[in-house]
């Protein structure tokens, strides 16, 4: 499926590996009157910074690159080398097929208006004794990470949200909800450009 045209919206793929297994997260952001290099640099800096998601990922996580694609139908993607970054949190990760599942809420009903982030590389010691749920402390810590990430994006006038490729629309996120249960990657290990 070709990418839709959605004015001032960017598809940002953050690629990394865990023990050689490829992983990726794709998010969509909005910024008025900008370019892919500026948006990409700001998003990737917020993600890999000490208060972004990399801060709570295992130090076994090795970042590879970021790809920021404007959904304008004509511009080329901006590619940034992220190989100098890694997860920051000491401790081994959960299995690469497992993930921390975060729901991106928009306040607008319908499946085209909600999103999910399937983040690999969360540390195994954050699991409770059943190994099926994250501890309440871990959920609280991850909520703070997402809040910090949203704040960092906001300082650059960037808004995280949900892009519907079917409807060619973008809806701003209103909140992030970390799910307490352990999620699965379900084939999301590699991004598609």
Section 174-184 average pLDDT: 94
For residue 1, pLDDT over 90 is answered with: no
Q: Which of 81-85, 95-99, 121-125, 148-152 has the lowest mean pLDDT?
A: 95-99
How far is the C-alpha of 155 from the C-alpha of 36, rounded, in Å? 17
135 C-beta neighbours (distance < 10 Å), count? 14
Predicted pLDDT of residue 34: 85
Q: Categorize the per-residue pLDDT at 191 as very low, low, confident or very high, splitting at 50, 70 and 90.
A: very low
Comparing 89 with 43, which gets the higher pLDDT?
A: 43
pLDDT over 90 percentage in the chain: 84
Is the model's pTM score more than 0.85?
yes
Predicted pLDDT of residue 32: 94
For residue 72, pLDDT over 70 is answered with: yes
Predicted pLDDT of residue 187: 55
For residue 192, pLDDT over 60 is answered with: no
111 C-beta neighbours (distance < 10 Å), count? 9
Cα–Cα distances (Å) from 25 to 33, 102, 135, 188, in that order, read 24, 12, 23, 8
How far is the C-alpha of 45 from the C-alpha of 47, rounded, in Å? 5
Residue 78: exposure state from Cβ atoms within 10 A (0-12, 13-18, ≥19): buried
How far is the C-alpha of 47 from the C-alpha of 148, rounded, in Å? 10
121 close to 189: Cβ distance less than 8 angstroms? no
Task: Tell me the β-bridge partners of 13.
Answer: 26, 67
Instruction: Give the chain's length.
Output: 193
Comparing 71 with 109, which gets the higher pLDDT?
A: 71
Average per-residue pLDDT for the chain: 93
Predicted pLDDT of residue 29: 98
For residue 35, pLDDT over 80 is answered with: yes
* Dihedral over Cα of 67, 64, 156, 149: its sign: positive
Q: Where are the domains of the chain?
A: 9-184
Section 34-59 average pLDDT: 95
């Amino acid at each position: 499926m070709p990418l839709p045209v959605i004015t001032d919206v960017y598809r940002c793929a953050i690629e990394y590996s865990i023990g050689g297994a490829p992983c990726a997260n794709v998010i969509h952001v909005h910024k008025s009157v900008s370019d892919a290099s500026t948006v990409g640099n700001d998003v990737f800096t917020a993600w890999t910074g000490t208060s972004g998601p990399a801060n709570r990922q295992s130090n076994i996580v090795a970042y590879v690159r970021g790809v920021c694609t404007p959904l304008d139908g004509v511009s080329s993607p901006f590619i940034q080398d992220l190989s100098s970054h890694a997860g920051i949190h000491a401790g081994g990760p959960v299995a690469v097929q497992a993930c921390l599942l975060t729901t991106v809420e928009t306040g607008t009903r319908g499946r085209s208006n909600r999103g999910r982030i399937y983040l690999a590389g969360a540390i195994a010691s954050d699991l409770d004794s059943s190994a099926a749920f994250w501890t309440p402390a871990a959920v609280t810590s991850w909520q703070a990470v997402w809040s910090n990430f949203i704040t960092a994006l906001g300082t650059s006038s960037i808004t995280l949200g949900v892009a519907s490729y079917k409807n060619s629309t973008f809806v701003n996120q209103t909140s992030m909800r970390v799910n307490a249960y352990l999620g699965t990657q379900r084939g999301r290990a590699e991004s598609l450009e």
